[in-house]
Amino acid sequence: MDKLTRTVTSCELSIVMPCLNEARTLSICIGKARAFLARSGIAGEIIVADNGSTDGSREVAQALGARVVPVAVRGYGNALRGGIEAAVGTFVIMGDSDDSYDFGALDAFVEQLRTGWDLVLGNRFSGLVAIQPGHTLLTTGIYGVIRHPSYLGMLVNALGWGLAFRSWAGVLLAALLVPLLLARIRSEEALLRAQFGAAYDAYCARTSRLIPGVF
């Protein structure tokens, strides 16, 4: 019997993918998840919690054997909640449908869940600076103002916790993050400039790195 159609009692793992118009990458995510289940021998299901896609995402999911759970109430959290509530597996692992998570590498998650942990978190941040296939230069939204908003958020968050708890150690930690992030930014921008050339130079000319109008 196909692992995606096992009975409720034999389903150990539900892989939940919140989705809104992700037809371009959804097939990649489902393919990786299916390959993981086949390789590991884990009885599981793949759930696509669709939040109103109009680009054929539902049809893509169904064609690849995933179970589509329509979630009418808009919002990422609602889509995630709807998918988890529909899951029948003993364990639930979630990841976005944009191929930013590797659904083919879930072994460590399952291993820890089986030992009894209630929650297992992954970490996508690494020292590797690379451009993945399909990556494009994003210049809209907040990226139209600053080029590294996630790093600014990290600094503000670290500094905010330090000040909120009146912890000089927390403030010092935030300060120590600055040179590390600047080194990372320099590496990323060198790679982006090599990849996108004049388009990236023009983008840099009209945006700031971290602080709008300052740096």
Residues, the chain, total?
A: 215
**How many whole angstroms separate alpha carbon 170 and alpha carbon 212?**
24
- Per-residue confidence in pLDDT tens, the chain, 215 aa: 344 443 445 899 999 999 999 999 999 999 999 999 999 999 999 999 999 999 999 999 999 999 999 999 999 889 999 999 999 999 999 999 988 889 999 999 999 999 999 888 887 666 667 776 777 888 988 899 999 998 888 888 888 888 888 888 888 888 888 998 899 899 999 999 999 999 999 999 999 999 998 89
Domain with CATH 3.90.550.10 in the chain: 3-114
**CATH 3.90.550.10 is held by the domain 3-114:** yes
pTM value? 0.61
**How many whole angstroms separate alpha carbon 75 and alpha carbon 143?**
22
